Structure 1
Amino acid sequence: MSDAFRSLPVFPDLRAFLSWTAAEKNLAVLPDRVDLRHEMTAFQQAALRAGGPVLRFNCAHLDGQPATMPVIGNLFGTEARVAAGLGVRPEGIADLGAFLAALRTPAPVDGWRDALSRWPVLRAALQSRPALVKHAPAQQETAPTDLTRLPVQIPWPGDAGPLITWPVVITRPHGSEARDTARYNLGVYRAQVIGPDRMILRWLSQRGGAAHARSWAAAAEPMPVVVALGADPALLLSAALPLPETVSELAFSGVLRGARPQITPAQTVPMLAPATAEILIEGFVHPGDTAMEGPFGDHTGYNNPAEAYPVLQVTRITHRRDPLYLTTVTGRPPDEPSVIGGVFNQLALPSMRAQIPELRDLWLPPAACSYRMAVVQIAKRYPGQARRVMMALWGMLAQFSYTKMIVVVDEDINPRNWDDIAWALSTRFDPARDTLLMDGTPMDHLDFSAPRMGLAGKIGLDATTKIGAETGRGWAEIIRPDPAHAARAEAVLRAAGWGA
């Protein structure tokens, strides 16, 4: 990424980012014993809700047994730290979003001067190419092939067992070569530990990892997999971002990082792995090898039911000499994924505006599990425009296929203010005329309100002022005070000690 947009130093690994948070007085080292079974969840939730620091648990234990390494939690518990993971301060998110939109869909070049002015974009593209290294910090030591030695949390009462919550799972399709990293998929899928060398990978059927697994199963061959734990912030956030299928998460991490991603050959599987991760887990997913995963507490605030998912047969575990284990907790918002989602929403706005020009703002309320509901502000110019925007959003990006309610408002309504939204719905929305209903559309498997697993309805609420053929009657004028009178009133009250 261009230095013109990156206002923070490059974070080549998790340790560099933690050093920066410590310098910012945003890292708390906890020397007291904290149990990995349920108790650590309470610490992370308390820190997140208070807008608190990254937590380093130096004395984690499980049922009295001390952990073999420190545990890091609440890494992205504030929007400021998510922005920092992207290389910018919070005020730089909008500019970064515009920069990434230009990188994805650059306009035609108009002469040499214009080409030179785009050097930051070209430089970012060059920085996205992975660099192969022979001596990787992530492979400094080979550990016993025993997942139970890792300090894996059991987050909630009722959870089925230890759950790895921040794994970057790396796969490639059948027929590709290990060196063809442009075809790699990086995803954050929760992973249940069910034995010393077995872990369940919970990827839904529409995810990239699942698509790759189907290609290997069709060929009746085991699929090689690498799981990176404790990756650098750019790689973590790239794996979590809802990128288009044609965009490589590994390459995109180089754009965010401002430096080329470092990769290294895995030791027991034909894959290339993140060289600067804290821990690498290698293995194969064999066709037909599944196990019941769950139940686990999830982002809906409920336990999801147990379901069968593929098993990774672990062949090797390597790590740094003094590894750190990164964890997070998913539950009813606010949680770490909802904080990340709020920043991703801001980051994606310029790209969405490029496809929907009338879009002015979009808010995904964190309390609505980040993406189940969207409030959209548009510059309305013609009848039916609100419905067109609803359908465009549902069809534009994969994550909006799970958004079951869209409320569209005008430019004079703050889409991030519940009072404004309620007023617009109360005065500009007629249930019979302004409701768009659909049935049998894709839905998150974890949504218990869906009548069928993976299929549910969607609703669009047009809370915009009706114009043209949308109404058969005139529309009243909004009452507003005279600006001069309002300004004088504020000045007088301020002088009397009552103003802000």
Structure 2
Amino acid sequence: MRSLPPFPDLRSFLSWLEARGELARIAEPVSLRHEMTAVELACLRRGGPALRFDNPQGARIPVIANLFGTRARVAAGLGLEPDKIVEFGEFLAALRSPPPVEGMRDAMSRWPMLRAALRMRQRFLRHGPVQEAGLSDLDALPVQTPWPNDGGPLITWPVVLTRPEDSRAGDLTRYNLGVYRAQVLAPDRLILRWLAHRGGAAHHRSWERAGKAMPVAIALGTDPALLLAAALPLPETVSELGFSGVLRGARTELVAAKTVPLMVPARAEAIIEGWIHPGETAPEGPFGDHTGYYNAVEPFPVMRVSRITCREAPLYLSTVTGRPPDEPSVIGEVFNDLALPVIRTQIPEITDLWLPPAACSYRMAVVAIDKRYPGQARRVMMALWGMLPQFSYTKMIVVVDRDIDVRSWDDIVWAISTRMDPARDTVLLDRTPMDYLDFASPLEGLAGKLGLDATTKIGAEISREWGRVMHLDPQHEARAEALLATVLP
């Protein structure tokens, strides 16, 4: 299914983009404080290319930005053409829950899936390109301060590697890879902001309970498959390190870190190694976030940097998070399409689902279903909120029929206006889990949820005759297009 060659590192992906006119170099000096943010967002909103800033002011290392600023580049990072995203999502769903094998012929047809599973194994190197050179401290990195009221420089594309206290460095299936905010506090100090439900935070609690310092490694500028695997909401039982091999189409190469007991990506641009000591925190923020607001200042763990290794002439990968559209919201749209087949394995009546980027990519969902019985729309709402953890922070779900385009606001509003009665078709829940970054919530971490049943009412749902939708004859529509093509430019 993979139609593009494997990209073993960030550089190979950039070379591929540049050959296709998808990488622009900016030679003029650009300030890391706020100005670079403006350039990145202006380029993204034009559907522009990935950017390479060759002269970031005050730094010698070039900055790469807007890497995944279009759906096509996110797909390319997965090794796919854009029209293969849904098919790849179906493949991932089958890999996650394979159907039973029926005979030898069926077993042989599964070979691509078996080969993908084998690629989830890692390859270990004695020496890796990421350890060719080193940096003196964090000040050598061209770290952006993205927004005017931010609390300081912020590393925005760190792949943070952790493991629980009762594991060893070689227990790779127990590693967690997460993309967490990392504030530069001093030349040898970082603040890692991970929320309590994230894997890194769970590992941190295990080390704190044991009263031990926790080893941490931060990979900067990894290959696109590892970046996307770290960002995907994978099940806890799936290793991001292994899963990246499926995405990449080649096994993940790892090398032992120099000063901490962890294995790290051998072809990253740089690795920040260090330790988090029990009870050591510092106030993090404020920083502009995906909601379009600044976060409050809160205490989070401090990482003491023990070493920074890097490639010769390293590159620094950065991004900007803000009110959509931004790079994370573009990635989220593709992940939406990848996740749909997995969701349908659990709720098969769902025919399509859209998480509008403007709704912070997860706070609202529009769901189309193949409706067959009364109350089905409400059952689907409850299933999404209750069965799938990724929807626990979705505070509004609109359910529509399969004839509605869930990505068309005109279709959605028409369905709400003509197929929903506010008194009968509204589901309202109170005191449910919510992202504490939602300032509209009456209580931190607890808020209501709203469901709108905008489907055609059937059976016991309605006591009057339902209207008939108006449609033209398709032959007449085709005739109209042919006639107009002869008279209109």
Q: Quickly name the TM-score band, shorter chain normalised.
A: over 0.9
Matches within 5 A, 1:316-335: 316-335=307-326
- Identify which of 35, 46, 53 aligns with 2:49: 53
Question: CA shift at 1:98, angstroms?
Answer: 1.0
1:433 and 2:429 are equivalent in the alignment = no
For 1:8, the equivalent position in structure 2 comes to: 4
Range that drifts further, 330-339 or 345-354: 345-354
Which sections of structure 2, spanning at least 5 residues, go unmatched? none
Question: CA shift at 1:161, angstroms?
Answer: 0.1
Question: CA shift at 1:86, angstroms?
Answer: 0.4
For 2:13, the equivalent position in structure 1 comes to: 17
For 2:398, the equivalent position in structure 1 comes to: 407
Does the CA-based 8 Å contact 1:244-1:397 persist in structure 2?
no
For 2:87, the equivalent position in structure 1 comes to: 95
Q: CA RMSD in A?
A: 1.0
Alpha-carbon distance in 2 for matches of 1:398, 1:323: 38
Question: CA shift at 1:473, angstroms?
Answer: 1.7
Alpha-carbon distance in 1 for matches of 2:388, 2:156: 24
Alpha-carbon distance in 2 for matches of 1:318, 1:300: 34
Letter in 2 for 1:97: G
- Identify which of 163, 182, 203 aligns with 1:212: 203
Matched residue SS, 1:448: coil
For 2:229, the equivalent position in structure 1 comes to: 238
Alpha-carbon distance in 1 for matches of 2:319, 2:474: 49
For 1:347, the equivalent position in structure 2 comes to: 338
Letter in 2 for 1:32: E
Range that drifts further, 114-123 or 388-397: 388-397
1:147 and 2:138 are equivalent in the alignment = yes
Alpha-carbon distance in 2 for matches of 1:249, 1:375: 28
Alpha-carbon distance in 1 for matches of 2:432, 2:277: 31
Question: How many percent of aligned residue pairs carry the same amino acid?
Answer: 68
TM-score (normalised: structure 1): 0.96
Alpha-carbon distance in 2 for matches of 1:21, 1:451: 46
Which sections of structure 1, spanning at least 5 residues, go unmatched? none
Alpha-carbon distance in 2 for matches of 1:207, 1:313: 21
Alpha-carbon distance in 2 for matches of 1:496, 1:168: 57
Does the CA-based 8 Å contact 1:13-1:277 persist in structure 2?
yes
1:78 and 2:70 are equivalent in the alignment = yes
Matches within 5 A, 1:43-442: 43-61=39-57, 65=58, 67-144=59-136, 146-442=137-433
Residues 427-451 of structure 1: CA distance to partner in whole angstroms, max 9, x if unpaired? Answer: 1111111111111112112111111
Alpha-carbon distance in 1 for matches of 2:4, 2:200: 32
Alpha-carbon distance in 2 for matches of 1:137, 1:218: 36
Question: CA shift at 1:48, angstroms?
Answer: 0.3
- Identify which of 41, 52, 58 aligns with 2:37: 41
Alpha-carbon distance in 2 for matches of 1:282, 1:226: 5
- Identify which of 456, 470, 474 aligns with 1:483: 474
4+ residue runs of structure 1 moved beyond 6 angstroms? none
Residues 36-94 of structure 1: CA distance to partner in whole angstroms, max 9, x if unpaired? Answer: 00000011001100110110000001xxx3x1210000000000000000010101111
Residues 346-373 of structure 1: CA distance to partner in whole angstroms, max 9, x if unpaired? Answer: 1111111111111111111111111111
Alpha-carbon distance in 2 for matches of 1:24, 1:445: 42
Matched residue SS, 2:320: coil
For 1:26, the equivalent position in structure 2 comes to: 22
Range that drifts further, 83-92 or 488-497: 488-497
Alpha-carbon distance in 1 for matches of 2:239, 2:47: 32
Alpha-carbon distance in 2 for matches of 1:139, 1:392: 47
Letter in 2 for 1:74: N
Alpha-carbon distance in 2 for matches of 1:155, 1:482: 54
Does the CA-based 8 Å contact 1:301-1:331 persist in structure 2?
yes
For 1:450, the equivalent position in structure 2 comes to: 441
Alpha-carbon distance in 2 for matches of 1:251, 1:396: 25
Question: CA shift at 1:412, angstroms?
Answer: 1.0
Alpha-carbon distance in 2 for matches of 1:396, 1:88: 30
Letter in 2 for 1:40: M
Aligned length: 489
Alpha-carbon distance in 2 for matches of 1:487, 1:324: 54
TM-score (normalised: structure 2): 0.99
Matched residue SS, 1:421: helix
Question: CA shift at 1:485, angstroms?
Answer: 3.0
Alpha-carbon distance in 2 for matches of 1:178, 1:482: 66
Question: CA shift at 1:307, angstroms?
Answer: 0.7
